[in-house]
């Protein structure tokens, strides 16, 4: 299987940070609505290492009473049309689509990204127990793609979303996922001292394992 060695599109570090800050803002919006602190934005590649955000989403599992209402799925839904005939902000023929998530996508969301033609996945914090980026094999069918994956963008800030969320919920049923996540990951101290470096903690294509 072919392994992609370089990102399919160029994004400046400042732009990666900006996109992740927007995803973090989505996660915070979710928390204010009583949801888990995971946010996502979908962007289209622009000029000179920039990108334009076309859709946003945060977890809505509690609101929709749907376990699969993950931030990424909601963002794809928000970027598409609906029964009203609304123009999609993420056109079906869009190229060089970028998915930015505060947490490493799960198998479902990474699969959705592949089906949606996403070429570049940026995420913040690792999710070692779910590990969507290792568990999903790349597709070989037409119109689906194997995205280049880069983690560790503002990882500490993304982790702090969970630390804050957990406060007061320790030991509860709903806290189990977050408690395991925090136990399996470590603090990225460097991210704090240099004002938010986004040195990627991992950089690989999905089939690079």
Residues in contact with Zn ion by CB under 5 A are 70, 106, 108-109
* Torsion sign, CA atoms 192, 194, 197, 199: negative
| C-beta closer to Zn ion: residue 15 or 69 | 69
Q: How far is the CB of 175 from Zn ion (least distance, A)?
A: 18
| Contact present, 84 and 50 (Cβ < 8 Å) | no
**Given the complex with Zn ion, which of 120 and 123 has the nearer CB atom?**
123
Give 51 or 121: the residue with its C-beta nearer to Zn ion. 121
User: Measured from the CB of residue 51, what is the shortest distance to Zn ion in angstroms?
Assistant: 21
Q: Please state, in angstroms and rounded to a whole number, the distance separating the CA atoms of residues 110 and 175.
A: 24
Cα gap 180→127, rounded to integer Å: 9
**Residue with Cβ nearer Zn ion (185 or 197):** 185
- Burial class for 58, CB neighbours closer than 10 Å (0-12, 13-18, 19+): buried
Q: Please, what is the end-to-end C-alpha distance for the chain in angstroms? A: 10
- The distance of closest approach from Cβ of residue 35 to Zn ion in the complex, given in angstroms and rounded to an integer, is 13
Q: Between 106 and 118, whose beta carbon lies closer to Zn ion?
A: 106
CB of 38 to Zn ion, least distance (A): 8
Residue 15 or 56: which CB sits closer to Zn ion?
56
Q: To the nearest whole angstrom, how small is the minimum distance from the Cβ of residue 14 to Zn ion?
A: 27
CB of 48 to Zn ion, least distance (A): 31
The sheet carrying 118-125 orders its strands as 51-58, 39-45, 97-103, 118-125, 148-151, 202-205
């Amino acid at each position: 299987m072919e392994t992609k060695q370089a990102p399919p599109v160029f994004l400046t570090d400042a732009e990666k940070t900006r996109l992740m800050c927007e995803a973090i803002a989505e996660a915070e919006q979710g928390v204010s609505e009583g949801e888990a602190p995971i946010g996502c934005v979908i962007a289209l590649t622009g000029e000179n290492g920039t990108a334009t955000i076309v859709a946003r989403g945060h977890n809505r599992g509690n609101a929709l009473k749907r376990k699969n209402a993950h931030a990424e799925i909601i963002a794809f839904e928000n970027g598409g049309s609906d029964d009203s005939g609304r123009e999609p902000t993420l056109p079906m023929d869009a190229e060089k689509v970028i998915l930015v998530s505060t947490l490493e996508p799960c198998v479902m969301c990474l699969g959705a990204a592949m089906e949606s033609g996403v070429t570049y996945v940026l995420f913040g914090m690792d999710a070692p127990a779910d590990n969507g980026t290792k568990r999903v094999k790349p597709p070989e069918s037409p119109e689906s793609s194997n995205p280049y994956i880069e983690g560790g963008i503002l990882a500490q800030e993304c982790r702090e979303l969970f630390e804050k969320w957990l406060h007061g919920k320790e030991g509860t049923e709903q806290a189990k996922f977050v408690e395991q996540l925090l136990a399996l990951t470590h603090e990225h101290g460097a991210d704090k001292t240099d004002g938010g470096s986004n040195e990627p903690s991992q950089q690989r294509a999905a089939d690079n394992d």
